């Protein structure tokens, strides 16, 4: 018997995901998927044994994995008292002590593009919220893509774009950064609204009738203190974007009743190397300049897989905008929500202008698809 290999690596180029960017810069996203199925003869048995050993060694280096087998009760949401929005009953200005009295300790804290950190709170990625604190441990930013959003106007997860516009008015078209005004491109995937003392970014799901799929609230001063479109690159920011994109992916999978992915340090290095290669050599493609596909690179790094896939994004200045853009593109969404994937590694690199390149490498080493 010969080994049958189903190989698909056709990049899916989509309309660019727009951020607060000059019209000359167009963001990009791309995805590809590969499936490998082998026969159940002796060669397959040997490969399967190797896969399982590799999985054991991989998991020893991973952070503890979590399961979403048990459902967690959603919180009872109340309309905010002093502001237009709250997330998980948390409002801007609250102290960290007040927040953690309500929802416990964070699972992870990572640097974000505002020069502060996102603290991620969840229970096996259920009731997922990210909170940004200032140096005094007061809430300056909030985000969630789950049913934790409450508003004095009635806006919530699943609200229509029309109802948002009716209640919040016209979205912003210009964002000032330092000495420059940047146009907020109206691509329909999100809108930015100026509230009394904050900016609300409302993300819409094109595949769910343009309904609200996530909300980010950023304190006005925190937003205006970010003087550049892109934050200067650093090791801390790179790692922050990587882990944030991983957490956002799992929160989205939980929304669709899918298993939680495990973090994989080995494939993270494969993803990092490709992001760095693209950033340094100024290209954007699944196939590198040596002609290697994502699957060639994974095999070269001794990562055994049965099924694998890759998502790429470039130019989005935060992990949140990158993730929401990928979810609005069908090929990338399929990778994020593919049921049989088990592992994910995310690698980020920055070019000389501090523009980030994101690579997500998914795979499964299980012999049963």
Three-state SS string over the chain comes to: CCCCCCCCCCCEECCCCCCECCCCCCCEEEEEEEECCCCCCHHHHHHHHHHHHHHHHHHHHCCCCCCCCCCCCCCCCCCCCCCCEEECCECCCCEHHHHHHHHCCCCEEEECCCCCEEEEEEECCEEEEEEEECCCCEEEEEEECCCCEEECCCCCCCCEHHHHHHHHCCCCCEEEECCEEEEECCCCCEEEEECCCEEEEEEEEHHHCCEEEEEEEEEHHHHHCCCCCCCCCCHHHHHHHHHHHHHHHHHHHHHCCCCCCEECHHHHHHHHHHHHHHHHHCCCCCCCCCCCCHHHHHHHCCCCCCEEEEEEEECCCCHHHHHHHHHCCHHHHHHHCCCCCCEEEEEEEECCCCCEEEEEEEEECCCCC
CA 214 to chain CA centroid, nearest Å? 12
Q: Is residue 51 part of a domain?
A: no
The whole-number pLDDT of residue 186 equals 61
End of a domain among 208, 229, 250? 229
Distance separating alpha carbons of residues 202 and 324, to the nearest angstrom: 11
Q: Is residue 29 in a domain?
A: no
Same domain flag for 96 and 205: yes
- On whether both 90 and 220 belong to a single domain, the answer is yes
Q: What is the pLDDT of residue 184?
A: 82
pLDDT number for residue 27: 52
Residue that finishes a domain, picked among 171, 202, 229: 229
**Distance between CA 75 and CA 31 in Å, rounded?**
35
> What is the spatial distance between Cα 246 and Cα 250, in angstroms, rounded to a whole number?
6
Residues 115 and 247 in one domain: no
Q: Classify residue 46: in a domain, yes or no.
A: no
Asked if residue 123 is part of any domain, the answer here is yes
Is 221 a domain residue? yes
Q: What is the pLDDT of residue 299?
A: 96
User: 229, 259, 287 — which closes off a domain?
Assistant: 229
Question: What pLDDT score was predicted for residue 40?
Answer: 31
**How many domains does the chain fold into?**
2
Residues 311 and 353 in one domain: yes
Strand 262-263 versus strand 343-350 pairing type: parallel
Cβ-based burial of 147 (10 A; exposed 0-12, middle 13-18, buried ≥19): middle
Q: What's the CA gap between 334 and 240, in Å, rounded? A: 24
Mean pLDDT by 10 residues, the chain (369 residues): 32 29 46 44 39 44 49 87 94 97 97 97 98 97 98 96 96 83 81 95 96 98 92 97 98 98 98 98 97 97 96 95 96 96 98 97 81
For residues 130 and 244, membership in a common domain is answered with no
Are 196 and 318 in the same domain? no
98, part of any domain: yes
Give the CATH number, domain containing residue 349. 3.40.33.10
Q: Which domain holds residue 186?
A: 85-229
Whether 183 and 285 map to the same domain: the answer is: no
199 and 300 share a domain? no
207 domain-assigned: yes
How far is it, in rounded angstroms, from Cα 215 to Cα 142? Answer: 8
Q: How many residues does the chain have?
A: 369
Same domain, 318 and 189: no
| Statement to judge: residues 255 and 188 lie in one domain | no
Q: Tally Cβ neighbours within 10 Å of residue 176.
A: 12
Question: Residues 6 or more apart from 303 whose CB is under 8 A from it?
Answer: 54, 266, 267, 270, 363
CA distance 161 to 249: 23
pLDDT of residue 54: 45
**pLDDT reported for residue 14:** 30
Whether residue 311 sits in one domain with residue 217 = no
99 and 182 share a domain? yes
| pTM, rounded to two decimals | 0.84
286 burial via Cβ count (<10 Å: 0-12, 13-18, 19+): buried
């Amino acid at each position: 018997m010969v080994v049958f290999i189903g190989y698909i690596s056709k990049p899916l180029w989509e309309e660019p995901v727009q951020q607060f960017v000059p019209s000359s810069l167009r963001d990009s996203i791309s995805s590809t998927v590969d499936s490998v199925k082998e026969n159940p003869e002796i060669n397959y048995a040997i490969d399967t044994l190797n896969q399982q050993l590799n999985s054991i060694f991989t998991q020893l280096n991973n952070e503890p994995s979590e399961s979403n087998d048990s459902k967690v009760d959603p919180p009872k949401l109340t309309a905010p008292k002093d502001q237009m929005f709250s997330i998980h009953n948390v409002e801007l200005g609250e102290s960290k002590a007040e927040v953690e009295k309500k929802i416990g300790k964070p699972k992870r804290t990572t640097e974000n593009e505002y020069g502060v950190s996102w603290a991620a709170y969840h229970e096996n990625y259920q009731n997922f919220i990210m909170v940004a604190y200032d140096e005094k441990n007061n809430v300056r930013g909030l985000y969630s893509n789950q049913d934790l959003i409450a508003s004095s106007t009635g806006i919530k997860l699943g609200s229509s774009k029309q109802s948002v516009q009716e209640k919040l008015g016209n979205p912003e078209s210009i964002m000032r950064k330092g000495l420059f005004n940047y146009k907020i491109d109206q691509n329909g995937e999100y809108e930015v609204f100026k509230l009394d003392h904050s900016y609300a970014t409302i993300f819409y799901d094109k595949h769910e009738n343009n309904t609200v799929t996530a909300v980010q609230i950023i304190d006005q001063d925190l937003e205006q203190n970010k003087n550049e479109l892109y934050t200067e690159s650093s090791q801390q920011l790179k790692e922050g974007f990587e882990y944030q994109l991983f957490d956002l992916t799992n929160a989205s999978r939980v929304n669709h009743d899918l298993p939680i992915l495990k973090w994989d340090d080995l494939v993270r290095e494969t993803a990092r190397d490709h992001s760095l290669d693209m950033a340094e050599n100024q290209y954007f493609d699944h196939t590198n300049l040596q002609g290697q596909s994502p699957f060639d690179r994974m095999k070269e790094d001794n990562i055994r897989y049965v099924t694998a896939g890759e998502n790429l994004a470039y130019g989005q200045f935060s992990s949140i905008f990158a993730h929401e853009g990928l979810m609005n593109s069908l090929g990338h969404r399929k990778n994020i929500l593919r049921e049989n994937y088990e592992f994910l590694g995310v690698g980020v690199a920055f070019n000389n202008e501090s523009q980030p390149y994101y690579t997500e490498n998914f795979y499964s080493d299980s012999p049963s698809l």
